[in-house]
């Protein structure tokens, strides 16, 4: 497909998203099924265009003074792809499968490229309703953090210490340009190719054999901060697909007991094949059955309970740019109630002297420091480590600026650390 035809296809998919309000991955899949002539490179290029438009939707709409999908694409080419007005116009010729030529109004807005008077939520490309929440979380850095969340993410891998070492995998994946991550001790990073095209990891023997796993560096750091140790009894209360479960099992060197559960058993489905591929032997998966608590027998018995709490996912916008536009204000309140409940539930399973780690992939205070403060106010038998102590005990002192300015806990952000956004707090049960 000609590049201009790919832009037409991307506009068509954006129109579908605007009409049907569904995940971009679903719309892209349906488009591919109905346009089988498009090869894998075409589909990847079209997906990259769609996601770039979603990343810069607020800025593109403001630039073009229109909310139409076509306007979003024109603006995104200028903002996300840094195309000149002439370069953009060359793709809108109306010839063959190219989009129709630019109108005089479109051309004028594009050439002006005026964002000088735009509000912070436009400059940072996040939903307007989140503006006060971003200001509360980031202050003067709200725009910078929003812009970092609107950037493309690299591909991060965690070397599975049960099967390989990082130097071995650096050599194995050198042809992909693998480099060591800045903070995660087992992390590798592979930069995205042109137009956001990623490495074909499925074709790599190291991945097929479970020697590396896909995991953002921020998520790897969060797992490392838990300090899971061989011989401990550990509960991963919101295990989902098992990303952090695998990292915890590797830290435990397959020694001790690691229990993985989730309130939604469907989210656990991928974990079984991942555990087998990774060579993990010390994990017991407890899927929910009816209303019974699948880990009731572990109350007061765990050395470590990890809560990777369901949240709005603000910190993952680099990888899921459509999620920020599909999240509605009511979802924040619902998540807070769920987070309070899972904290209460997790606390019941911690033995005296044991640890409770609260993790979210959100950067909003309402889901992080506020939840922690509410929990500590109701649970005098728990105390929270300060950030410096948590980093020191995990051997991760190099994370400058990670201590939250709003209370205990650590904040990992794309602007400061070039990782997905995470909040991590380590609490201890006294006595």
Measured distance CA(138)–CA(27) in Å, rounded? 33
Per the CB < 8 A criterion, the answer to whether 227 and 355 are in contact is yes
Let me know if 302 is a catalytic residue.
Answer: no
Which residue among 181, 238, 311, 361 is the active-site one? 361
Pairing outcome for strands 257-261 and 233-236: parallel
The dihedral formed by the CA atoms of 309, 315, 316 and 322, expressed in degrees to the nearest 10: 110
Provide the 3-class DSSP secondary structure of residue 135.
Answer: helix
Task: Dig out the tokens for 188 from the structure.
Answer: 């590798």
Which stretches within 213-328 are classed as H helix?
Answer: 217-225, 243-251, 271-278, 323-326
**What is the C-alpha to C-alpha distance for residues 308 and 252, in angstroms, rounded to an integer?**
18
Q: Name, in order, each residue with C-beta under 8 angstroms of 38's C-beta and a sequence gap of 6 or more.
A: 1, 9, 32, 46
Binding site listing: 262, 308
| 153 within 8 A of 216, measured Cβ to Cβ | yes
Longest alpha-carbon distance in the chain:
75
Cβ(127)–Cβ(324) below 8 Å: yes
Query: Looking at residue 360, what DSSP letter applies?
Result: E
Q: Are strands 283-286 and 257-261 parallel, antiparallel or unpaired?
A: parallel
Query: How remote is the C-alpha of 176 from its chain's centroid?
Result: 22
With vertex at residue 82, the alpha carbon angle to CA 81 and CA 83, rounded to the nearest 5 degrees, is: 90
Q: Which residues are annotated as a binding site for S-adenosyl-L-methionine?
A: 262, 308
Q: Which residues are catalytic?
A: 361
């Amino acid at each position: 497909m000609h590049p201009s035809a790919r832009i037409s296809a991307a506009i068509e998919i954006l129109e579908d998203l605007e009409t049907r309000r569904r995940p971009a991955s679903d719309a892209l899949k349906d488009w591919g099924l109905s346009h089988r002539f498009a090869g894998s490179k075409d589909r990847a290029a079209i997906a990259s265009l769609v996601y770039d438009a979603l990343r810069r939707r607020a800025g593109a709409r403001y630039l073009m003074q229109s909310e139409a999908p076509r306007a979003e694409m024109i603006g995104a080419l200028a903002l996300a792809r840094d195309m000149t007005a002439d370069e953009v116009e060359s793709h809108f010729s109306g010839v063959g499968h190219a989009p129709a030529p630019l109108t005089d109004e479109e051309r004028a807005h594009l050439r002006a490229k005026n964002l000088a008077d735009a509000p912070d939520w436009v400059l940072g490309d996040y939903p307007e309703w989140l503006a006060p929440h971003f200001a509360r979380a980031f202050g003067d850095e709200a725009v910078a953090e929003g812009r970092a969340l609107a950037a493309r993410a690299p591909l991060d891998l965690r070397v599975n210490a049960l099967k390989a070492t990082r130097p071995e995998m650096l050599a194995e994946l050198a042809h992909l340009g693998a480099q060591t991550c800045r903070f995660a001790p087992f992390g590798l990073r592979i930069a995205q190719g042109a137009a956001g095209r990623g490495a074909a990891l499925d074709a790599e023997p190291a991945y097929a054999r479970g020697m590396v796993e896909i995991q953002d560096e921020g998520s790897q750091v969060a797992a490392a901060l838990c300090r899971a140790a061989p011989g401990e009894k550990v509960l991963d209360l919101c295990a989902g697909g098992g990303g952090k479960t695998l990292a915890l099992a590797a830290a435990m060197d397959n020694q001790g007991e690691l229990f993985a559960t989730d309130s939604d058993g469907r989210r656990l489905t991928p974990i079984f094949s991942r555990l087998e591929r990774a060579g993990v032997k010390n994990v017991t998966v407890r899927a929910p059955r009816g209303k019974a608590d699948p880990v009731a027998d572990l109350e007061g018995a765990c050395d470590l309970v990890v809560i990777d709490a369901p949240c709005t996912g603000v910190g993952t916008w680099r990888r899921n740019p459509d999620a920020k536009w599909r999240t509605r204000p009511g979802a924040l309140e619902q998540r807070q109630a769920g987070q309070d409940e899972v904290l209460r539930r997790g606390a019941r399973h911690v033995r005296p002297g044991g640890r409770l780690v609260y993790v979210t992939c959100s950067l909003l205070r309402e889901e992080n420091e506020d939840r922690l403060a509410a929990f500590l106010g109701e649970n005098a038998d728990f105390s929270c480590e300060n950030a410096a102590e948590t980093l020191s005990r995990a051997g991760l002192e190099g994370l400058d600026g990670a201590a939250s300015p709003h209370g205990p806990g650590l904040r990992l952000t794309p602007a400061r650390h070039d990782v997905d956004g995470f909040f991590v707090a380590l609490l201890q049960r006294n006595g």
